[in-house]
Amino acid sequence: MGDCNTNNILKLLFSYMPKIAEERKMDGLLILMADLGRSLVGADRCSLWLVDEQKSELWTKVAHGVAELRIPSNLGFVGYTLNSGESLCIKDAYEDSRFDSRSDLKTNYHTKSVLTVPLKNSEGRIIGVFQAINKKEPPYYFSSQDIEYLSLTAVYSEKTIESALLTKELEETQAEILYMLGEVSEHRSKETADHVMRVAACCYKMACYFGLSEYEANQIRLAAPLHDLGKVGIPDAILQKTGKFTPEEYEVMKTHTVLGHHLLRNSSRKLLQLAAEMAIGHHEHWNGSGYPSGLSGEKIPLSSRICAVADVFDALMSTRCYKEAWSEDMVKDFFIKQRNSQFQKELVDILLSHWDEFIEIYK
Ligand code: C2E
Ligand code: SIN
Ligand code: SIN
Ligand code: FE
Ligand code: FE
C-alpha cells in the first residue's frame, strides 16, 4: 500500500463522484480522470496520451503543467507501453535506455519515476497510454498498488472516449463510472464485494416487476451501488467487527444513512439525487420502525422500499463478518413474516413469486 490508507482513498474517490456526475463535456471528464489518477497515485503530473494513427504519433489529450506534446508512437516509455501492452513502473527514467528525454528538455522538467498503463478499448485494442510522473512522497517511486489505481482511471478514461466516439449518452458513461466507484468502495469490507452488484440487479428486477418503466428501473439499478456510501464515514473497528454490535456501536452504524445522503444531496444530477434518496431511506421499515426517520408506508420513497428488500435479501443469503448465511427456507420465512411489517407486501409478493429468478442473481 502506498502513502494513502484505504479510508483516504475512499474519501478521494467520493470527493470526485459529484464532480464526475456534474461534468457535461467529454474533455472535462478526461481532465477529471487525469486529476483523479494523479491524486490516487500521488504523482506530480499525469497525462493521457492518444494514438494518432495517420501520423504514427502519440499526443497528449490531457497533460498537467504542459501544452500539447507529440512524440513518435514508438518512442519512450509511453511508446513501449503502447506497442507491448505492458504497464511500466520505472524508478529512475534516466537510468533506462527506453527513456526519451526530449520532452523533459522541451518542457524544462526533470522526470524521475514513471508509471505507464495501456488504455484498451472494448475490443482489447490499445488506443493510448495513461502516464504518471514523479511520485511526490517517499520512496519517490510508484508501487504495484499505484499501477492498479492508474489502471482504474485508464478504464474510466477509455470508456469516456469510447462513448464520445459512439455518440453514446455521456450520462450513461458517467453512470458506469459511478457504478464502478461504488464497487471499489464496497471492497473495503471484502465479504460485501459482490453485494453491490447483486443488490443492483435485484433492485432492477423488482422495479420492473413493480411496473416501473425500463428507464426508471435502470436509474434505480445505477443508483443502487451508492446506497451504503455513508459507510466510508464509519470507523473500521465498527464496520469490520466480527461479533454482535453493542447498542452504542449500532447507533454509530445507523448514521451511514444520513452520511451518504449528505455526500450526495448537493448534486444537481438526477441520478445522484436518486442515490441520495436511496442512501437515506434504505433502512426505513414499511411499519415505521426503521431508521433514521421512522417513516412509514408510502412516505418512504419507492426506490428506498425496493432497495430495502434487495439489501436484506442479499444480507441474509450471505455470510457476513458478524453472521452466517441463512438457508433459502429461513430467508423465505423471514420475508413471509415481514410482509407488511418491515417491507411493503407488494414487493415481498414479487420476491416470493419470482423467487428462483432472485436466487439466480444471487448465484
Ligand atoms: P448488512 O449486513 O448488509 O445487513 C443489511 C440489513 O439486513 C440489516 O440492516 C438488517 O435489516 C438485515 N439483516 C442482516 N442480518 C440480519 C440478521 O441476522 N437478522 C435479521 N433479522 N436481519 C438481518 P441493519 O440491521 O440496519 O444493519 C445495517 C448494517 O450494519 C449491516 O449491513 C451491517 O453492515 C451492520 N451490522 C448490523 N448489525 C451488526 C452486528 O451485530 N455486527 C456487525 N459487525 N455489523 C452489523
Ligand atoms: C517517455 O515516456 O519517455 C516520454 C514521454 C514523456 O514523459 O514526456
Ligand atoms: C452492506 O454491507 O453493503 C449492507 C449494509 C447496509 O445496508 O447498511
Ligand atoms: Fe445500509
Ligand atoms: Fe447494503
Please give the tally of structural domains in the chain.
2
Average pLDDT score over residue span 52-77:
87
How do 57-63 and 88-90 pair as beta strands? unpaired
Q: In what order do the strands lie in the sheet with 88-90?
A: 70-72, 57-63, 43-52, 126-135, 114-120, 88-90
**How confident is the model over 29-46, as pLDDT tens digits?**
888 889 989 998 999 999
Contacts of 338 (CB under 8 A, 6+ apart): 348
80 domain residue, yes or no: yes
Residues 203 and 66 in one domain: no
Residues 95 and 136 in one domain: yes
Q: How far apart are CA 26 and CA 170, in angstroms?
A: 7
CATH number, position 323? 1.10.3210.10
Above 60 in pLDDT, residue 136?
Answer: yes
321 domain residue, yes or no: yes
For a ligand 2 pocket test, name from 47, 61, 71, 142 the mutation site with the most ligand atoms within 8 angstroms of its C-beta.
71
For a ligand 1 pocket test, name from 246, 253, 331, 348 the mutation site with the most ligand atoms within 8 angstroms of its C-beta.
253
Write down the H helix ranges in 187-325.
195-210, 214-223, 236-239, 247-254, 256-264, 270-281, 302-317
Residues 31 and 120 in one domain: yes
Residues 305 and 266 in one domain: yes
Contacts of 183 (CB under 8 A, 6+ apart): 193, 196, 197, 225
**Which whole-number Å values give the CA distances from 222 to 163, 238, 270, 295, in the listed order?**
17, 28, 11, 24
Residues 198 and 288 in one domain: yes
Q: What's this model's pTM, rounded to 2 decimal places?
A: 0.66
Q: How far apart are CA 173 and CA 269, in angstroms?
A: 14
Give the model's pLDDT for residue 327: 96
Give the model's pLDDT for residue 121: 85
Q: pLDDT band at residue 152, thresholds of 50, 70 and 90?
A: confident
Q: Length of the chain, please?
A: 363
Average pLDDT score over residue span 214-239:
85
Residues 222 and 159 in one domain: no
184 domain residue, yes or no: no
Atom 2, ligand 3: residue with shortest CA distance = 192
Evaluate the CA torsion angle 79, 81, 136, 27 in order and state its sign. positive
Residues 198 and 331 in one domain: yes
Q: Which residues are catalytic?
A: 231
Average pLDDT score over residue span 83-93:
96
Residues 213 and 149 in one domain: no
**Residue 322 near ligand 1, beta carbon < 6 Å:** yes
Residues 196 and 119 in one domain: no
Residues 349 and 226 in one domain: yes
**Residue 76 near ligand 2, beta carbon < 6 Å:** yes
Query: Worst-scoring range by mean pLDDT, 73-87, 198-212, 234-248, 292-306?
Result: 234-248
Write down the H helix ranges in 256-327.
256-264, 270-281, 302-317
**How confident is the model over 307-350, as pLDDT tens digits?**
999 999 999 998 888 899 999 999 999 999 999 999 999 999 99
328 domain residue, yes or no: yes
Taking residue 333's Cβ as centre, other Cβ atoms within 10 Å add up to 12
Which of 187, 180, 182, 217 lies closest to 202 in space, CA to CA?
217
Residues 30 and 71 in one domain: yes
State the average pLDDT for the chain.
86
| The CA-based dihedral angle spanning residues 38, 39, 41, 42, taken in that order and rounded to the nearest 10 degrees | 100
Residues 118 and 203 in one domain: no
Give percent of the chain with pLDDT exceeding 90. 50
Determine the structural domain holding residue 89 and report its residue range.
6-166
Grid-cell match 474517490, residue found: 13
Give the model's pLDDT for residue 4: 37
Average pLDDT score over residue span 120-138:
91
Torsion angles phi and psi, residue 89, rounded to 5: -130, 100
177 domain residue, yes or no: no
Q: Tell me, in angstroms, the distance from the centre of ligand 3 to residue 305's CA.
A: 15
